Amino acid sequence: MANQVITVRSKSEMEQRVNQYLVNGYTVAGQSSDSTILRKPKEFNIFLGALGFFLCVIGFFVYLLIYSMQKDRVIEIRLDTTPKMAEDRNWWWDDHLNEWRNVDEAAPPNAKRSDDGKHWWDGQAWRRVPA
Protein backbone atom coordinates (compact mmCIF):
# COMPACT_ATOMS: atom_id res chain seq x y z
CA MET A 1 0.00 0.00 0.00
CA ALA A 2 1.36 3.41 -0.95
CA ASN A 3 2.15 6.06 1.66
CA GLN A 4 1.32 8.82 -0.77
CA VAL A 5 -0.85 8.91 -3.91
CA ILE A 6 -0.20 11.54 -6.58
CA THR A 7 -2.78 12.02 -9.32
CA VAL A 8 -1.69 13.27 -12.75
CA ARG A 9 -3.77 14.16 -15.88
CA SER A 10 -1.67 12.66 -18.68
CA LYS A 11 0.87 9.92 -19.47
CA SER A 12 3.52 12.54 -20.25
CA GLU A 13 2.98 14.20 -16.85
CA MET A 14 3.19 10.73 -15.24
CA GLU A 15 6.53 10.04 -17.00
CA GLN A 16 7.84 13.44 -15.95
CA ARG A 17 6.91 12.84 -12.28
CA VAL A 18 8.36 9.29 -12.31
CA ASN A 19 11.66 10.65 -13.71
CA GLN A 20 11.79 13.32 -10.94
CA TYR A 21 11.47 10.63 -8.28
CA LEU A 22 13.98 8.31 -9.98
CA VAL A 23 16.57 11.12 -9.88
CA ASN A 24 15.94 11.48 -6.13
CA GLY A 25 16.81 7.85 -5.38
CA TYR A 26 13.46 6.09 -5.90
CA THR A 27 13.22 2.83 -7.85
CA VAL A 28 10.30 1.38 -9.76
CA ALA A 29 8.64 -1.32 -7.62
CA GLY A 30 5.74 -1.99 -9.97
CA GLN A 31 4.22 -0.52 -13.11
CA SER A 32 1.06 -0.84 -15.20
CA SER A 33 -0.43 1.23 -17.99
CA ASP A 34 -2.17 3.62 -15.59
CA SER A 35 0.06 3.62 -12.48
CA THR A 36 3.65 3.37 -11.30
CA ILE A 37 4.69 2.40 -7.79
CA LEU A 38 7.97 3.92 -6.65
CA ARG A 39 9.96 2.89 -3.62
CA LYS A 40 12.85 4.53 -1.81
CA PRO A 41 14.56 2.42 0.86
CA LYS A 42 15.09 4.03 4.22
CA GLU A 43 18.61 5.30 4.81
CA PHE A 44 20.56 5.25 8.03
CA ASN A 45 22.01 8.70 8.68
CA ILE A 46 25.48 8.09 10.10
CA PHE A 47 25.78 11.62 11.47
CA LEU A 48 22.47 11.52 13.36
CA GLY A 49 23.14 7.96 14.52
CA ALA A 50 26.59 8.90 15.83
CA LEU A 51 25.23 12.07 17.44
CA GLY A 52 22.50 10.12 19.23
CA PHE A 53 24.97 7.46 20.31
CA PHE A 54 27.45 9.95 21.72
CA LEU A 55 24.77 11.97 23.47
CA CYS A 56 23.53 8.81 25.15
CA VAL A 57 27.04 7.59 25.96
CA ILE A 58 28.13 11.00 27.23
CA GLY A 59 24.94 11.26 29.28
CA PHE A 60 25.58 7.81 30.68
CA PHE A 61 29.16 8.67 31.65
CA VAL A 62 28.04 11.96 33.22
CA TYR A 63 25.58 9.96 35.30
CA LEU A 64 28.32 7.47 36.27
CA LEU A 65 30.54 10.36 37.33
CA ILE A 66 27.78 11.86 39.46
CA TYR A 67 26.96 8.44 40.89
CA SER A 68 30.60 7.75 41.78
CA MET A 69 30.84 11.04 43.68
CA GLN A 70 27.80 10.32 45.85
CA LYS A 71 28.17 8.89 49.33
CA ASP A 72 26.01 6.26 50.99
CA ARG A 73 23.53 7.78 53.39
CA VAL A 74 23.90 6.42 56.89
CA ILE A 75 21.69 7.34 59.81
CA GLU A 76 22.33 6.30 63.37
CA ILE A 77 19.56 6.61 65.90
CA ARG A 78 21.05 6.43 69.35
CA LEU A 79 19.35 6.23 72.71
CA ASP A 80 20.72 8.85 75.09
CA THR A 81 21.32 6.99 78.35
CA THR A 82 22.65 10.06 80.16
CA PRO A 83 20.19 10.81 82.96
CA LYS A 84 18.72 14.25 83.42
CA MET A 85 20.56 15.71 86.40
CA ALA A 86 19.69 18.58 88.76
CA GLU A 87 22.03 21.60 88.73
CA ASP A 88 23.71 20.50 91.98
CA ARG A 89 24.23 17.01 90.39
CA ASN A 90 22.86 15.32 93.54
CA TRP A 91 19.53 14.37 91.99
CA TRP A 92 18.48 12.63 88.79
CA TRP A 93 15.04 12.66 87.13
CA ASP A 94 13.19 9.32 87.14
CA ASP A 95 10.94 9.30 84.06
CA HIS A 96 9.04 6.23 85.30
CA LEU A 97 8.12 7.69 88.70
CA ASN A 98 8.04 11.32 87.52
CA GLU A 99 10.14 12.48 90.45
CA TRP A 100 13.68 13.51 91.39
CA ARG A 101 15.77 10.73 92.99
CA ASN A 102 18.84 11.15 95.21
CA VAL A 103 22.07 9.86 93.65
CA ASP A 104 23.12 8.35 97.00
CA GLU A 105 19.95 6.24 97.21
CA ALA A 106 19.54 4.94 93.66
CA ALA A 107 21.23 4.94 90.29
CA PRO A 108 19.27 5.45 87.06
CA PRO A 109 18.48 2.02 85.60
CA ASN A 110 19.35 2.99 82.01
CA ALA A 111 22.54 4.96 82.82
CA LYS A 112 25.78 3.75 81.28
CA ARG A 113 27.61 1.38 83.63
CA SER A 114 31.31 0.68 84.06
CA ASP A 115 32.64 -2.71 82.94
CA ASP A 116 32.57 -4.01 86.51
CA GLY A 117 29.02 -2.63 87.07
CA LYS A 118 30.00 -0.74 90.22
CA HIS A 119 29.79 2.78 88.74
CA TRP A 120 27.35 4.71 86.55
CA TRP A 121 27.95 7.73 84.26
CA ASP A 122 25.98 10.89 85.10
CA GLY A 123 27.08 12.73 81.96
CA GLN A 124 30.09 14.38 83.62
CA ALA A 125 31.53 11.92 86.13
CA TRP A 126 31.44 8.29 87.23
CA ARG A 127 29.44 7.69 90.42
CA ARG A 128 29.35 4.63 92.67
CA VAL A 129 26.18 2.57 92.32
CA PRO A 130 24.42 2.66 95.76
CA ALA A 131 24.08 -0.67 97.52
- Please check the confidence at residue 62 and state whether its pLDDT lies above 80: yes
Question: What is the per-residue pLDDT for 99?
Answer: 95
What is d(CA 103, CA 51) in angstroms, rounded to the nearest whole number? 76
Q: How far does CA 26 lie from the centroid of its chain?
A: 48
Reported as a single tens digit per residue, the pLDDT across 18-42 is: 999 999 999 999 998 889 999 998 8
Q: What is the pLDDT of residue 125?
A: 93
Q: What's the distance, CA 23 to chain centroid? A: 51
pTM, rounded to two decimals? 0.43
